[in-house]
Amino acid sequence: MGIRLGKNSYGKSCVRLLRVGRQEARHDIKELTLEIRFEGDFETAHTTGDNRKILPTDTMKNTVYVLARQHPFEPSEDFSRRLIQHFLAHNPQVQRVEIDAAEDLWARIPCGGSPHASAFTRAGEEKRTAMLDATRDGIAIRAGIENLIVLKTTKSAFQGFLRDRYTTLKEDQNRILSTSIQADWLYDGSAIEFNRVWDGVRRTLLETFAEHDSLSLQHTLYAMGEAVLHSFEPIREIHLSLPNKHYNLVNLSTFETDNPSEVFLPTDEPHGLIEATVERD
């Protein structure tokens, strides 16, 4: 029986970077965490210990910092693409480069009614993401959002669902609907205004969630994806992963007190998880 090396890769994980753009009247910041992976001709490193084709992962990390210093502020998609172009140009043994970038979002602290020029507060746990997969033949670019937490107190129902002998859930015509939006979308084309489109997709997801007359979280997921594809031609598909964050009505009858849908118990686990990709034909 023969033995051979299967698919393999290596890279640098959790490369963290804070970039400060210093202008006379204001400062801008961007905080990124990057993961870099190479695929290519690395078999001899595994089978014979020959490292002559291995670019050290420490060099990958250093390249991130040098290119961040050499180039102006740019969307994480463009910065990741610049890194990929550098790695492919200088490493003929590398056939594929994948970069995942997660951006921590910061907002300016308001002072005296105006945004402060150089002081910031973290905008919760929400992150902007970018995932690039490139060979010398082409590149696929996905962008996304993680941990965008939303909740609405009306225009949400769940009725007419399948029942069996283990079903205890009651139908609800007007429930709380909450989720943490995880979304990523695939771009089609190269001349894309990444910042403008990302801001627009985020706004579309939020507005659709808020206004949609939801018959289920699946129903709302599809409406959100459909709205994004209708609004942004450069997007070929969007994948949404929506955990159903449950808020259970507290029974106060023991205390001879009514509860007309005003007091709820938030529960993190277990929760439902709804996922789907909405795509163009």
Question: In angstroms, rounded to a whole number, what is the distance separating the alpha carbons of residues 115 and 210?
Answer: 27
At residue 78, the pLDDT reads 96
* Domain-embedded: residue 260: yes
What mean pLDDT value characterizes the chain?
A: 96
The residue segments making up the domain with residue 155 are: 148-279
At residue 72, the pLDDT reads 81
Whether residues 274 and 163 fall in one domain = yes
Question: In angstroms, rounded to a whole number, what is the distance separating the alpha carbons of residues 136 and 134?
Answer: 7
3-state secondary structure at position 145: strand
At residue 191, the pLDDT reads 86
Instruction: Tell me which residue has tokens 């463009």.
Output: 78
**Secondary structure letter of residue 12 according to DSSP:** E
- What region does 208 belong to: left with phi over 0, alpha with psi -120 to 50, or beta? alpha
| Other Cβ atoms within 10 Å of 122 Cβ, number | 11
Question: In angstroms, rounded to a whole number, what is the distance separating the alpha carbons of residues 272 and 179?
Answer: 10
Residues of the chain with pLDDT under 50: none
Question: In angstroms, rounded to a whole number, what is the distance separating the alpha carbons of residues 76 and 55?
Answer: 23
3-state secondary structure 228-249: HHHHCCCEEEEEEEEEEEEEEE
Give pLDDT tens digits for 94-114: 999 999 999 999 999 999 999
Question: In angstroms, rounded to a whole number, what is the distance separating the alpha carbons of residues 159 and 190?
Answer: 44
* Domain-embedded: residue 199: yes
Whether residues 51 and 98 fall in one domain = yes
The angle, 0 to 180 degrees and rounded to 10, between the axes of the packed helices 194-211 and 76-90 is: 140
Question: In angstroms, rounded to a whole number, what is the distance separating the alpha carbons of residues 146 and 184?
Answer: 9
Instruction: Tell me which residue has tokens 């007190």.
Output: 257
* Domain-embedded: residue 132: no
pTM given for the model: 0.93
Q: Which residues contact 27 (CB under 8 A, 6 or more apart)?
A: 20, 21, 117, 118
Domain harbouring 81, CATH code: 3.10.270.10
Whether residues 212 and 271 fall in one domain = yes
Question: In angstroms, rounded to a whole number, what is the distance separating the alpha carbons of residues 169 and 218?
Answer: 17
Phi, psi of 255 (to 5 degrees): -100, 15
Question: In angstroms, rounded to a whole number, what is the distance separating the alpha carbons of residues 79 and 73?
Answer: 9
State which H helix or E strand residue 133 sits in: strand 114-135
> In this structure, which amino acid lies at residue 34?
L
* Closest by Cα among 80, 103, 74 to 11: 80
> In this structure, which amino acid lies at residue 63?
T
Whether residues 104 and 46 fall in one domain = yes
* Domain-embedded: residue 232: yes
- List the catalytic residues: 12, 57, 246
Whether residues 110 and 173 fall in one domain = no
Whether residues 166 and 260 fall in one domain = yes
Whether residues 191 and 240 fall in one domain = yes
Within the chain, residue ranges assigned H as helices are 43-47, 57-70, 76-90, 194-211, 217-231
